Amino acid sequence: MPIIVNLDVMLAKRKMQSKELAEKLGITPVNLSILKTGKAKGVRFDTLEAICKILECQPGDILEFRD
């Protein structure tokens, strides 16, 4: 898949665990794991917005396109 999810990188930069982010987002750790591994078929804009607010980053810091 040419869309790469760099959520682990941002979590490491912010020194935050996946579990903590999942709690703040109000989603299960399993659903966050699906997103982190790139297995999600899509991501809602409101979820992406919430991730960016919590991690203080831009969508491009989390999602990357590689041909």
This prediction has a pTM of 0.90
pLDDT band at 6 (very low <50, low <70, confident <90, very high): very high
- At residue 30, the pLDDT reads 96
pLDDT value of position 1: 61
Mean pLDDT of 6-34: 96
Domains of the chain: 3-65 (1.10.260.40)
Residue that is written with structure tokens 């979820």 in the block: 47
